[in-house]
Structure formats: structure tokens, C-alpha cells
Amino acid sequence: MYYYFIIAFQAYCIYHLFKNRNSFYWIFAIIFLPLVGCIVYLVTQVLTKRDTEKIQENLTTIIDPSKKIRDLEKKLEFTDTYENRVNLADAYLASHDYAKAILHYKKALEDKTQSGFYVKSQLVKAYYYSKDFEEVIRLGEILEPYKEFEKSHVPFYYGMALAEKDRTIEAEAQLKIIDKPYSNYNERLAFAKFLLNVEKTDAAKTLLDELHEEMQNMTKMNQRIYKVTAVEVEKLRAKV
């Protein structure tokens, strides 16, 4: 099996070499150093500079998570643009620094030339995790008329914030928006828990059964990604 893989790898590299008229000396590396030569050719000649930079960026983020934020801070300091500020705010949000994320999102909203939906939707998330449910609800009401609303994550956080304020009828209406087959698994699990909390056991059981059925048909990758969610679904199904 390994032998056939190397042959196929070599064939691809040689095909790419001739097609793109790359330097002929590469053929010696590909033939006489099969695996190493092919890998070096792939990295230096096939992958674009952008691909290589993306790989390096991902590795650096794993090794030093704060580096991305430091780099974005410097970039914003050098060029104060809407895009640079939003990118920095997104990085703060991803690193759970909600206060700084909110600060930069609000600053970005001062640019009235932008539609603002994306930034406001990110603010909804940041406010939710900061437990500022009043702000989540305020922004949810503002964003609801937007055409992007139902395809965004806003209805989920808006609905959960309404639930925190015991506005259960409104909360259920929002959470129903995210109840779409073969998607939003974590959010729909949270919706099932909400239904159980408001004693809508039959509706919760139906939703849990749907999640169970969908999860049986997941790809192996998604099974790994949603492993914890699937376990929790099964535990709840056993109780209702």
C-alpha cells in the first residue's frame, strides 16, 4: 500500500512539474528521494504562499495563542481601519476576553458606512457570555428585521437571553428558528433542555429523538466533533 502511495505521489508531482514548467532539477529529487523529495516539492511548489502562511499561522496560534492578538493590535495601531478593528475584536471574542471584544466592536460601529449586522451579531454573543442579557435582548430586537437574522447565530443567543428573563413564549419562538435538521446540534440540545425546563416534555423528546437519529448518520469527523453532545443527547433521552 505504501509503495502505491509513493508512486501516485511521485506521478502527481511530476505531472505538476511539467504542467507548470517548473525547474527540471526537481525531477531528480522526486525520483531519487521519493517521500522527502515529493513533500519538499509539494510545500515549495504546489502550495501557494498563502497556503503556507496559513499553515504557519495556525501552528503559531497553537504554540502561542496570544501572538495573534498581539499581531492584530500592532496592525490596528499602524492602520486604524474598520476591518482591522473587527478582526481584533473577533480575536478577543475567540480568546474569551469579552470586555475588550465589546469595546472594539462598539468602536467599529462608529463607522456608519458599514451595515453593522455582523458586528452587532458578534456583540450579541459577547454580551451573552458576559451575562448581560438585557443588552442581548436589546440588540436582538434591533437585528430581528434584518434579512440575515434567521441564518445567523443571533436567534439562539437572543432566545436564551429571553429564557434567562423568564420570557419563555418569546424565547421558544426564537429558539425554534435554529431548530433545523442536520445542523446546530449544540444549540438544538440547549433548546431541548429549555423545553424540559418549561415542562414541554413531549416536544423535548421529539427534538432529542431527531438529534439521536441525525447523529447516527453523521460522518466520522462530525461524530468526533460532536461526541460530547451526542453523549448528552443520549443521557437526556434516557430520562424523558
State the average pLDDT for the chain: 87
Check if the beta carbon of residue 225 is closer than 8 Å to that of residue 195. Answer: no
Answer positive or negative: Cα dihedral of 145, 188, 126, 68: negative
List the one residue out of 206, 204, 149 whose CA is nearest residue 178.
149
Taking the whole predicted model, whether its pTM rises above 0.85 is answered as no
> What confidence tens digit (pLDDT) does each residue in 62-112 have?
555 678 899 999 999 999 999 999 999 999 999 999 999 999 999 999 998
Residue pLDDT, tens place only, 176-186: 999 999 999 99
What average pLDDT does the segment 115-128 reach? 96
The owner of cell 498581539 is 70
Q: Which residues contact 10 (CB under 8 A, 6 or more apart)?
A: 30, 31, 34, 38
Question: What does the pLDDT look like over 151-178, one tens digit per residue?
Answer: 999 999 999 999 999 999 999 999 999 9
Length of the chain: 240
- Give the domain ranges of the chain: 1-46, 182-240
Q: How far apart are alpha carbons 230 and 154 in whole angstroms?
A: 24
Angle at 152 between CA 137 and CA 220, to 5 degrees: 125
Question: Is residue 34 predicted with pLDDT exceeding 90?
Answer: no
Band (24; pLDDT cuts 50, 70, 90): low
Distances (CA, A) of 60 to 22, 43, 68, 94, 235: 30, 18, 8, 16, 38
pLDDT at 80: 93
Structure confidence at residue 49 (pLDDT): 45
d(CA 101, CA 93): 5
pLDDT for the residue 47: 59
pLDDT value of position 121: 97
Q: Is the pLDDT of residue 61 over 50?
A: yes
Q: What is the DSSP string of 138-188?
A: HHHHHHTTSTTGGGSSHHHHHHHHHHHTT-HHHHHHHHHHT--TTS-HHHH
Residue 29: HSE in the Cβ half-sphere, 13 Å Cα cutoff = 16
